[in-house]
């Protein structure tokens, strides 16, 4: 499959391109000290969910080599990022809004931290930095995916493709 596969607008290759583009900005978040955006590790687990993806796309940015025991584990971050993406998708709102404005909508097993965002059926969950930095990173990725998808749609039309296959 290629990014320009006309069977759908969003596919794994497009998501991976967006993650690659977002990486530099996310790494820059690691060094922001005022306001402090990182509570411990310089590591971020990312999960991208959408119905057209056969399975969620999972990505890690940073290194877990210097991980400290009191931070939990990188696996914890991956599980939490997956939950944040799922909860944002389920509720149709960012996890910050769910936690701050609609706490009654939480379900058993939910985490009470920002870091999951959603637009339509596209959801991104991030975990590993600070909750607000997690959400910032998720929005960076969401915006890049949105831009790439809109441009792909235009390109398909320019190539006389009027309907997805």
Homologous superfamily of 12-61+72-154: Haem-degrading domain (3.30.450.150)
Burial (Cβ within 10 Å: 0-12, 13-18, ≥19) of residue 107: exposed
Which residue, among 65, 29, 32, 34, has the nearest Cα to 46 in the 3D structure?
29
Which helix H or strand E contains 62, and what residues bound it? strand 57-62
Q: What three-state secondary structure class fits 43? A: strand
Tell me how crowded residue 55 is: count the other CB atoms within 10 A of its CB.
7
Mean pLDDT of the chain: 92
Where exactly are the structural domains of the chain? 12-61+72-154
Q: What is the pLDDT of residue 65?
A: 67
In this structure, of 63-67, 122-126, 134-138, 159-163, the range with the lowest mean pLDDT score is: 63-67
Residues composing the chain: 165
pLDDT in tens, 102-119: 999 999 988 899 999 999
pLDDT in tens, 20-73: 999 999 999 988 878 888 877 789 999 999 999 999 999 999 987 666 676 677
Q: What is the pLDDT of residue 32?
A: 87
């Amino acid at each position: 499959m290629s990014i320009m596969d006309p069977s759908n607008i969003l596919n794994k290759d497009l998501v991976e391109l967006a993650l690659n583009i977002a990486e530099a900005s996310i790494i820059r978040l690691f060094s922001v000290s005022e306001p402090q955006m990182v509570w411990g590790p310089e590591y971020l687990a990312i999960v991208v969910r959408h119905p057209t993806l056969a399975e969620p796309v999972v990505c890690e940015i940073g290194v877990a080599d210097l991980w400290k025991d009191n931070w939990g584990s990188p696996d914890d971050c991956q599980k939490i990022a997956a939950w944040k993406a799922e909860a944002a998708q389920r509720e149709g709102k960012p996890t910050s809004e769910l936690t701050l404005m609609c706490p009654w909508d939480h379900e058993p097993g939910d985490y009470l931290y920002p870091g999951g965002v959603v637009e339509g059926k596209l959801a991104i969950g991030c975990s590993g930095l600070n909750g607000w930095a997690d959400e910032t990173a998720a929005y960076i990725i969401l915006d890049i995916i949105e831009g790439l998808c809109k441009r792909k749609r235009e390109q398909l039309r320019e190539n006389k493709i009027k309907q997805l296959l």
